Amino acid sequence: MSYTHEEANSFSQFKQLAEDLRMKMEEIHTITPSARKRFIEENTESGNIQILLSEILSCHNKCVAQRDQIEDEFQNEQEMSDSANDKLLESELHLQILKDEVNDLKRFRALGDGGSNPNEVIRTKLQERAKLTTRMEQLKLEEMNAAHSLLGRKAEYDKLNSKLSHLQEFFPLFSQSQPIYSETVAAMGQGMIPQEVYKLPLPLFMIYMRLTIYVINRMDPELECVVQESENNSTDSNTAVPHAYSIVLRYNQKQIAFYYHPGLQVISVRHNLPTQYGILIGLYPNDNGNVSPNPSTYYLLKTAIPTLSMDELVSGGHTGRMYRWSQVLAGLFFYPENQNELTIQVTSFDVIHQLDIVLSEAV
């Protein structure tokens, strides 16, 4: 049996692939148990970031599902709106026909079979016209409601689509962050991380880790994240006094400093950016940093310093601005007074993305 040149070539490639596969299988079987153990140990360090990636992927899939659902509902409501328009046009046509008939009845009074009363015929037609007019108004109202609902759905769809696009932008960042995260954990185990990091409270430690990964990924020599010790080493027991260490993000001559107030259980922010209205105020409504997102802060302040109000605490310079987004960056969550704000989903990646924009655009 003879083969064509292409068949013979394909058969030769198949034999080569089979031989390569056999050699790979032999190589796998020759790996010693100690090598397998070392392989497992080397991959264990990336376990935490893999869990984080799984959560982000789950969030991504959820956004995709919600977007698909809204697309289906948007399509259904569009079809309902088209159907309402068709019914409205049909009713208007019918109404015009009735108007013509009424005009004919007024013009020719001698209508009806068997001597029926033309006035009764006209009255009946007018009653039908009134019913159709009412029905037409109802259809117009349904059309307006459908259009309003479509606008709301479209706004929700655009919001989800924007958030989905933002998540997709961060996927490359996570892929690059896996080795960085593993190296950071390994460096901590080998004592290569500054000793000040080990003295940070958990909220500041979370901010330090997240901003450090951001700085490494930016690869900009002008951008740095450092742990800074307060020059005031006073042992003042004032509840408003921040922790001795703070996290400072610097870019050129601009800097944003994060402080943790153990007595108030809240993060505050100070910066030298050219704005008097606060920064990142668009992530949460009315987030000017003048009030604490933590409801217990008011009780703690009243208990410790009854004569000092929350406004005086911020305006007097005792603390920085207590933005809600800074609590997100620190891994803190507080139940908002306005339950409608529970629908606002802001992640640490949203915060870092906005910080990057602010630092890049600030003059």
pLDDT range class, residue 1, cuts 50, 70, 90: low
Three-state SS annotation for the chain: CCCCHHHHHHHHHHHHHHHHHHHHHHHHHCCCHHHHHHHHHHHHCCHHHHHHHHHHHHHHHHHHHHHHHHHHHHHHHHHHHHHHHHHHHHHHHHHHHHHHHHHHHHHCCCCCCCCCCHHHHHHHHHHHHHHHHHHHHHHHHHHHHHHHHHHHHHHHHHHHHHHHHHHHHHHHHHHHHHHHHHHHHHHHHCCCCCHHHHHCCHHHHHHHHHHHHHHHHHCCCCEEEEEEECCCCCCCCCCCCCCCEEEEEEECCEEEEEEEECCCCEEEEEECCCCCCCCCCCCCCCCCCCCCCCCHHHHHHHHHCCCCCHHHHHHCCCCCECCHHHHHHCCCCCCCCCHHHHHCCCCHHHHHHHHHHHHHHCC
pLDDT of 320 higher than 80: yes
pLDDT at residue 213, rounded to an integer: 85
Our measurement of the distance from residue 222's CA atom to the centroid of its chain's CA atoms, rounded to an integer in Å, reads: 29
In this predicted model, what pLDDT tens digit does every residue of 194-221 receive, in sequence order? 778 888 899 999 999 889 888 888 888 8
pLDDT at residue 167, rounded to an integer: 56
At residue 268, φ and ψ (nearest 5 deg) are -125, 160
Pairing of β 266-271 and β 254-261: antiparallel
Residues of the chain with CATH 1.10.287: 48-170
Q: Could you give the CA distance from residue 280 to residue 282 in angstroms, rounded to a whole number?
A: 5
In whole numbers, what is the pLDDT of the chain averaged over residues?
Answer: 74
Q: Could you give the CA distance from residue 263 to residue 46 in angstroms, rounded to a whole number?
A: 35
Report which of residues 267 and 16 the model is more confident about. 267
Q: Could you give the CA distance from residue 150 to residue 144 in angstroms, rounded to a whole number?
A: 10
* Residue type for position 356: D
Specify which residues 260 forms β-bridges with.
267
Q: What is the pTM of this model?
A: 0.50
* Residue 334, token pair as written in the block: 């507080």
Sheet-wide strand order for 223-229 = 223-229, 245-251, 254-261, 266-271
In this predicted model, what pLDDT tens digit does every residue of 55-74 receive, in sequence order? 667 776 777 777 777 777 77
Three-state SS annotation for 3-29: CCHHHHHHHHHHHHHHHHHHHHHHHHH
pLDDT of 160 higher than 90: no
In this predicted model, what pLDDT tens digit does every residue of 236-246 receive, in sequence order? 456 678 898 99
List the CATH code of the domain at 48-170. Answer: 1.10.287
pLDDT at residue 341, rounded to an integer: 67
* Residue type for position 261: H
Give yes or no for a contact between 45 and 185, defined as CB atoms under 8 angstroms apart: yes
pLDDT at residue 30, rounded to an integer: 65
Q: Could you give the CA distance from residue 118 to residue 291 in angstroms, rounded to a whole number?
A: 77
* Cα torsion through 161, 162, 164, 166, rounded to 10: 160
In this predicted model, what pLDDT tens digit does every residue of 321-354 receive, in sequence order? 889 999 999 988 887 777 666 667 788 888 888 8
